[in-house]
Every structure is written in C-alpha cells, then in structure tokens.
Chains A and B, each alone.
Chain A
Amino acid sequence: MNDATDNRDPIIRFDKVVKRFGDHVVLDELDFEVQRGEKVTIIGPSGSGKSTVLRILMTLEEINGGVVYVGGEPLWHQRKGESLEPAGEQHLRQMRSHLGMVFQQFNLFPHMTVLRNLTEAPVQVLGVSKAEAKQRGMELLEMVGLTDQASKYPHQLSGGQQQRVGIARALAMRPKIMLFDEPTSALDPELVGEVLNVIRTLADEHDLTMLLVTHEMHFARQVSDRICFFDKGRIKEQGKPEEIFTAPKEERTKAFLKAVLDPDD
C-alpha cells in the first residue's frame, strides 16, 4: 500500500489464487486485478474458471490458496496482526455488502412478487424502511423498464424480464461491484437484447465496477474497458477490446475467438 511506484488502486485483486474441485485445478495461481470503475469482461472456453472468479468474489466458493482483496481488504481472510487468518461469517457479511451478483439462472425468489424481490434484502439487511425500500425498488424497476410488473410473480415474466429484475435486485443493495455470471446464457435469443441494454445503460451511466462473464462477444467489445481471455485457470491474454478482438497475440486466443465468432467455418 505504501509502495511509491504503485499508483493504481485496484478494487479487486487476486493474488496467486488457487481453486480446486477435487483433483481438478480450476484456478491455477491466478493473478488478476480490476481497477475502480473498470468494466472487465472475462471470456474463455467453458471450464476455464471464468464463473469461478465471480463465485469466489461473491463468497459462494471458498479458495484453496492465495489471497483475494476487495477494496484493499482480504475477502476470505481477516488480518490478525501481521498474518492472515480464515475469515469468519461476520467479516464475510461485511465484505459481501460491496458486491452484487446477477446469476445465469436469475435465481429470483419465486414465492415473492417482483417488488418484494427488490425490497426483501434492503429491509432485512440494510435496515431500510419498507416505504423507502419500495420507492427505491420502483425506481430500479423503472430503470429496467418493468414498473408495470411490480406486483407479478417471477414465473409470470419472460426470461428477459426476470433477468432484468435480477439486475435490479442486485442493485437494490447498492453494491460497488457488480458481477454478471453469464446473464444471458439461459435466455431465448430474442430476449438477450433487452438484458444487454440494461447492462449497457449501467455501464454507461454509473461508476460501478463491473465484472462480466459472457459469450456475447459483440456486446463485450462494446461495453468493456478490458477483455480477459481465460484458459486453464489463468489469464492467457488480456487487453483493450480492439486489441483482443482484432489482433490477438496468443494462438489459443485466436483459436477461441475464431470458434465463437465464426462458428460455421
């Protein structure tokens, strides 16, 4: 922190992070940084550890080695004097409040109305009054274009609408960092656009830090400040979207992009 040569201020930093599922190494001493306000898209073949990065940040997956920092604080550890110890639930709750996540399967609460989905956590966790939470919920619904759906149940909505509610629900907790885990992968093709538009608006109008895992390359190119190509649990190549999409250096990146961009070749 007092390193004079280090003038960056990464809001997310993975320091040699290892994640294993059994014998399978998902993240192999991953070093990875995201700057405050930066929009970063992670691309790569399935099984390359893309989603795992987000799930570790949301504290849905524990790490097996290394340290993850969020806002300069270790996420999975607590400082104890000089050393780091595994974090307790109290610390995790505190850290989690900086992050919001949008899931591939939406994971809306099916037994609650759309509005209740947006107010439940603010009221219970942030201690916001019900009236205030509702007002804020309606504002968020307006942002995602769903004010007329407030009293419906999730199953009455299309997939695209559900995912927009998912985005609004995460935003209701006022996170500094938004994680999007393949937000359009479960959607019918004609519903993808409406969700991407909402994410695009967020990226353009807010100083949120955004970390996105997606297969929508065209979209990634438009909204991202940086593209990270993951392969075998490491960042194989990263750079500005134009560099990665027009002039990738690594053979592996070229092969992947060729496969996803011209699947008919």
Chain B
Amino acid sequence: MFFGIEWDTSSQWAFAVSIFPILLHGLVVTLQATVVGFFIALILGLVLAALKSAPTRFIRWPAKLVTEFIRDTPLLIQLFFLFYVLPEFGLTLPAFLTGALALGVQYSAYTSEVYRAGLEAVAKGQREAARALNLASARTFTHIILPQAIPRIIPALGNYLVSIMKDVPVLSVVTVLEMLGVAKIIGDRTGGYLIPLSMVGGLYLVMTIIASFGVRYLDTHLPKRGLSLK
C-alpha cells in the first residue's frame, strides 16, 4: 500500500493497473518540480544574463564565473550541497523546494546563455536608435530589446523545459517522492521492478512528446508582431 492505494499482485496486468494511480501521484510531483524549477531557471537565468552583459567587467566576470561553475559541476553535487550542507548553516528547506531550487539553479546557467544569444541577435541598430531617442537603458532593455529577443528565445527555453523534466528523477535521492522514486518504492515493497519502472519510462515518453508538441505549437503560434526571425 502506498498513498492509501493497495496494489493487486494477482496478475501482471492487475498489478500494472493498480499501481497506475500511485504513479500518477508521483507524476504530479514530477510536474510540480519541473514547473517550479523551470520558473526559477527563467528568472535566475535572466538575472545572470543581465549581469553578464553589464557595462562593467567587475559585474560581468563574477557572473560569468558563477555560470561556468554551475554548468561545470554535476546537478547531484549542487543538490547535495543544498540539501545537506545548507542545514549545517541553519538553513533547512523542504526536500521538494531544495530539489526544485537545485534544478532551477543548474538550468539558469543554460537559460542565461539562451537569453544572451537571443539578446545579441537583436540588431545593433535597435540599441543605437533607442540611444538616439534618449530612452533609458532599462527601458531599452525591457521594451525594445527583450520583446524582439523573446520570440527567438522561447523555442530554446522549451527544450530546456523538457530537459528539466527528465532530470527530476535525480531529486529522488533527497527523498522527493517524484515518479521514479515512487516506482522504486513500489519495487522495493513488492519485489517487482520491471512493471513500475517500465511504466515510468512510458509515462515519461508520453510527457516529453506532449511537451515537444507544445513547444512547437508555441513556436509557430507565438505572436511575433512585426518580427521576422531569420
């Protein structure tokens, strides 16, 4: 029994059917971790991207260093740091939040590069026109550069959303009961791993396909308002 749901080991089919709702509990957690992690990656990545294109190198270089550090160290190490080391300094976060934060921090390094590339793709003349019109640099960024960069950025970000979803199982090592963790516990308790793990794989396949379609839909239907992206 798990999440108050009994499994039925009378046949393999019955077993699969009976654990399906249990796995769905895990799936919800997986999706939650994906969304929260992605959201953190979006915001933090934007901050990093802005810092990396700051006018002074005293801001640029540390930001680049942080990005490089995050990107070149395994997600698992960052996760362990947040989960085991931070409490030593008196900061204890719930496992779920720790996991989502680790994902978000890890992927902010990637999203910041996506932002940067998207921002640099906006023609130099746009900045010059904004400067000639005396628009403040913050306004130029939020209302001239960003709206033109976003349609280029969205598809690449979507791909990272799928990647984050596929990295969520790592959180099971810090006791987050996402789908894989749930499947493993079912296996531990029943001795049958094949069916729960296969079902997790299958569910992942379905989710990634749906997400990929979503990204493609967004890409083609995004309002580009006067932008031609070539």
Q: Is B205 an interface residue (CB 8 A)?
A: no
A110 (CB) vs chain B CBs: closest residue: B226
Task: Tell me which of B131, B139, B226 contacts A124 (CB under 8 A).
Answer: B139
Task: Tell me which of B133, B144, B147, B226 contacts A154 (CB under 8 A).
Answer: B226
State A103–B131 Cα separation when bound (angstroms): 12
Please determine whether B226 and A169 come into contact, CB atoms closer than 8 angstroms. no
Q: Annotate B115-132 by CB proximity to A: 1 below 8 A, 0 otherwise.
A: 000000001011011011
Task: Tell me which of A110, A153, A155, A173 contacts B133 (CB under 8 A).
Answer: A173
Q: Is B77 an interface residue (CB 8 A)?
A: no
Q: Is B143 an interface residue (CB 8 A)?
A: yes
Nearest-neighbour CB distance to chain A for B179, whole angstroms, equals 40
Nearest-neighbour CB distance to chain B for A149, whole angstroms, equals 13
Nearest-neighbour CB distance to chain B for A38, whole angstroms, equals 21
Nearest-neighbour CB distance to chain A for B55, whole angstroms, equals 10
Q: Is B134 an interface residue (CB 8 A)?
A: yes
Task: Tell me which of B135, B136, B143, B148 contacts A110 (CB under 8 A).
Answer: B148
Task: Tell me which of B126, B128, B132, B143 contacts A170 (CB under 8 A).
Answer: B132
B128 (CB) vs chain A CBs: closest residue: A60
State A28–B228 Cα separation when bound (angstroms): 40
Task: Tell me which of A96, A153, A155 contacts B134 (CB under 8 A).
Answer: A96
Please determine whether B135 and A120 come into contact, CB atoms closer than 8 angstroms. yes
Q: Chain B interface: which size bin?
A: 20 to 34
Q: Is B189 an interface residue (CB 8 A)?
A: no
Please determine whether A169 and B133 come into contact, CB atoms closer than 8 angstroms. yes
Residues of B within 8 A of A79 (CB): none
Q: Is B225 an interface residue (CB 8 A)?
A: yes
Please determine whether A99 and B132 come into contact, CB atoms closer than 8 angstroms. yes
Nearest-neighbour CB distance to chain B for A151, whole angstroms, equals 12
Given contacts A120-B143, A124-B139, contact A112 B133 (CB under 8 A): no
Given contacts A107-B125, A111-B148, A111-B227, contact A58 B132 (CB under 8 A): yes
Interface residues in A86-106 by Cβ distance below 8 A to B read 93, 96-97, 99-101, 103, 105
A155 (CB) vs chain B CBs: closest residue: B226
Count of chain A residues near B, Cβ 8 A? 28
Please determine whether A93 and B226 come into contact, CB atoms closer than 8 angstroms. no
Please determine whether B147 and A124 come into contact, CB atoms closer than 8 angstroms. no
Task: Tell me which of A103, A120, A154, A173 contacts B125 (CB under 8 A).
Answer: A103
Please determine whether B226 and A107 come into contact, CB atoms closer than 8 angstroms. no
State A135–B135 Cα separation when bound (angstroms): 20
Residues of B within 8 A of A170 (CB): 132-133
Please determine whether B228 and A155 come into contact, CB atoms closer than 8 angstroms. yes
Please determine whether A111 and B132 come into contact, CB atoms closer than 8 angstroms. no
Q: Annotate A187-203 by CB proximity to B: 1 below 8 A, 0 otherwise.
A: 00000000000000000
State A183–B10 Cα separation when bound (angstroms): 82
Q: Is A255 an interface residue (CB 8 A)?
A: no
State A99–B129 Cα separation when bound (angstroms): 12
State A108–B125 Cα separation when bound (angstroms): 9
Interface residues in A59-102 by Cβ distance below 8 A to B read 59-60, 93, 96-97, 99-101
Nearest-neighbour CB distance to chain A for B157, whole angstroms, equals 18
State A93–B134 Cα separation when bound (angstroms): 6
Please determine whether A120 and B227 come into contact, CB atoms closer than 8 angstroms. no
Nearest-neighbour CB distance to chain A for B229, whole angstroms, equals 10
Residues of B within 8 A of A110 (CB): 148, 226-228
Please determine whether A112 and B226 come into contact, CB atoms closer than 8 angstroms. yes
Given contacts A105-B125, A109-B144, A111-B148, contact A60 B131 (CB under 8 A): yes
Task: Tell me which of A99, A153, A173 contacts B226 (CB under 8 A).
Answer: A153
B225 (CB) vs chain A CBs: closest residue: A111
Residues of B within 8 A of A169 (CB): 133
Please determine whether B134 and A97 come into contact, CB atoms closer than 8 angstroms. yes
Please determine whether B131 and A59 come into contact, CB atoms closer than 8 angstroms. yes
Please determine whether A96 and B143 come into contact, CB atoms closer than 8 angstroms. no
24 pairs across A/B with beta carbons < 8 Å?
Answer: A58-B131, A60-B128, A60-B131, A60-B132, A96-B132, A97-B134, A105-B125, A108-B129, A109-B126, A110-B148, A110-B226, A111-B225, A111-B226, A112-B226, A120-B133, A120-B143, A121-B133, A121-B134, A124-B136, A153-B225, A153-B226, A154-B226, A156-B226, A173-B133
Q: A110-B148, A111-B227, A155-B226 are in contact. List 20 more A-B contacts (CB 8 A).
A: A58-B131, A58-B132, A60-B132, A93-B134, A97-B134, A103-B128, A103-B132, A105-B123, A105-B125, A107-B123, A108-B129, A109-B126, A110-B226, A111-B147, A120-B143, A121-B134, A125-B136, A153-B226, A155-B228, A156-B226
